[in-house]
Amino acid sequence: MSARSHWQTVWTLLLLLLVPATVGAQERLKPVLEVSFDEAIDVTGQHLRVAAVEAQFDARAKGDRTLSGNRGRLTLEVSPGRRLSPQAEAGTELGLSLTQSWNLGDPAGHGRETARAEREVLSAQIRARALVTRIDAARAWFALRQAEGALVLVEEEINTMISLKKLADRALHAGLSTGSEQAVAQTALVEVRRQALGLEGVRVRAALDLCVAMGGAPSQELKTIGPLPAPGLPSAGILAKLPDRAARLPQVAIHRLQRVAAIARAAEAKARAGRKLSFGVLAQRESSGSSLLFGTAGISFSGSDQGQRQRSKSQAKAAWHDKEASLESNALAAELTDVLHELEHSKEAWSLATDQVLPATTRLLERRQRELAIGEGTLIEVLRSRTLVLQAQRFVADAEISRAWAQVHAWLLITEVALVQPKKESL
C-alpha cells in the first residue's frame, strides 16, 4: 500500500467520527431530584411567597368577623361629694350615672365595607404573587432544560474530539500528517472542554434558581424530566386581543382595589366623626336622705375638621392608586404585546434553525469531509465546519426551548386574564 493510500485510509476513519452528532438522550445515572414542568408550576401554590399573603388574608378574615356595631362605649360615672350649706343640710352626697352612646354616621357599616375592600386587595395580591411565582418557576425550568441540553451536545462533541485527537496522534506518528493538524485537533478539544466547564456552571446556577422558584431547599442536583410542554393556544385573532385585557391582570387589580379601599377608609373616617346619640340614667343620693333618679338623652356634634387628616390621607391614596392603575395597565399591555411578538419570533427562529441553518452547516461539513478524503481539503477546514455544525445544533436546541417557553408564557397569561373566546376556541 502506498503512503498516499495509507493516509487516505486513516482520514477516512477520521471522517466517520466527524458525522454530525444527533441530539439524543445519553446513558446517565439516576438523578437525585427530578421535576417535570407540571410539577414545577404546581408546587408554586405552596410557595412561601404566596402562603405569606394567604396567612395574612386568613387572619384578616377571622378578625373582621368580630367587627363591632355602631354602639359606643358604655360609660359609668361616680360623683361623690359633700353638701356644705345650709348648715342644717350639710352631709355626704353621691351621684351615679350610666350612659350608652350610638354613632349616627354608621361607622360599623363603613368599617365592614372597608374590611371587605382590604380583603379583596389581599386576594388580588395572592393572585399576583401566584402568577409571578408560576411564571418564575416555568422560566427557571426552561432555563435548566436549556442548560442540560447544551451540556448533552458539548459532551457528545468532546467524545468526538477525543477520538479525533487520538487518530491525529497516530497519523502524526506514522508520518501521515503534520504537527499543525495535531495542534488543531488538540485546540479544538480544549475549546469544547472549556465550553463544557462554563455550561456546567450555568446548569448548576439554573438548578439552584429552579429550587428557589419552587420554594424548596437549594440543590444543584435538580434535573428536569418529561417532554417540553406544548399548551394549546387560541387563534391569532383572539391572541391579538390579549394586550387589551391587561387591566384584568392582578397587578392592575391591586391598584384598582386599593383605590376602592382608600375611598372606603375615607368614608369610614367621616362616619366615625359623625353625630353621636346617647341615652342614660342618673341616680343621686342627697345628704338629707332623699334619692333622685333621672333619665338622660343627648346628641353630640363633631367639629368640621375632626378626622379630616385621615380623610385627606385616604383621598390622596385613592387618587395615587387611580393613576398608578393606569400606568400599570399600560406597562402590562406593552409586556403582553412583547409576549405575542416573542411567540411569533420564536416560531420564525425555529423555522430558520431547522430549515436553513442546520441543513446548510451539515452540507458544508459533508463537503469538507469529501474534500479531505480525496486530499483536496485540510483538517482545519473540517474542524471549522464541525464547529459551525455544533453551533447550529445549539441554535436548534435553543430555538426549540424558546418556542416552547413563548407558548407557555402566553398560556399562563391568557389563563390569568380569563380571555373570553368564541365557541370552538379553547386554550
DSSP lists the bridge partners of residue 280 as 99, 296
Residue 275 lies in a domain: yes
Residue 180 lies in a domain: yes
Element (H, E) at 4: helix 3-17
Q: At what angle do helices 250-272 and 107-173 cross, to 10 degrees?
A: 160
CATH code for position 230: 1.20.1600.10
Residue 218 lies in a domain: yes
Residue 212 lies in a domain: yes
Residue 145 lies in a domain: yes
DSSP lists the bridge partners of residue 96 as 78, 283
Task: Report how far residue 28's alpha carbon sits from residue 225's, in angstroms, rounded to the nearest whole number.
Answer: 13
Each residue's pLDDT tens digit in the chain (427 positions)?
444 444 444 444 444 444 444 333 333 333 348 899 998 888 766 788 888 888 888 888 888 777 777 677 788 888 888 877 776 677 788 888 888 777 777 777 777 888 888 888 888 888 888 898 999 999 999 999 999 999 998 888 888 778 777 777 776 777 666 667 778 778 888 888 998 999 999 999 999 999 989 887 788 888 999 999 988 888 888 888 889 888 888 999 888 998 988 888 888 787 777 777 888 888 888 777 788 888 888 887 776 566 677 778 888 888 888 888 899 889 999 999 999 999 999 999 999 998 999 999 999 988 988 887 777 777 778 778 888 888 898 899 999 999 999 999 999 998 888 643 433 333 3
What pLDDT does residue 304 have?
58
What pLDDT does residue 88 have?
62
Q: Indicate the SS3 state at residue 32.
A: coil
What pLDDT does residue 145 have?
94
The values of phi and psi at residue 76, to 5°, are -115, 125
Q: What is the DSSP letter of 296?
A: E
The residue ranges of DSSP E strands in 104-238, in sequence order, are: 222-224
Q: Under 8 Å CB-to-CB from 351, ≥6 apart: which residues?
A: none
Q: Does the predicted TM-score (pTM) go above 0.85?
A: no
Q: Indicate the SS3 state at residue 228.
A: coil
Residue 110 lies in a domain: yes
Residue 423 lies in a domain: no
Task: Report how far residue 372's alpha carbon sits from residue 386's, in angstroms, rounded to the nearest whole number.
Answer: 13
Q: How many domains does the chain have?
A: 1
For residue 358, the number of C-alpha atoms closer than 13 Å in the C-beta half-sphere is 20
What pLDDT does residue 47 have?
80
* Helices and strands of the chain, counted as H and E runs: 10, 6
What pLDDT does residue 11 have?
47
What pLDDT does residue 306 have?
62
Q: Using alpha carbons only, what angle is made at residue 404 by residues 399 and 409, rounded to the nearest 5 degrees?
A: 120
Strands 222-224 and 71-83: unpaired
What pLDDT does residue 237 have?
84
The parent domain of residue 98 ranges over 3-417
Residue 422 lies in a domain: no
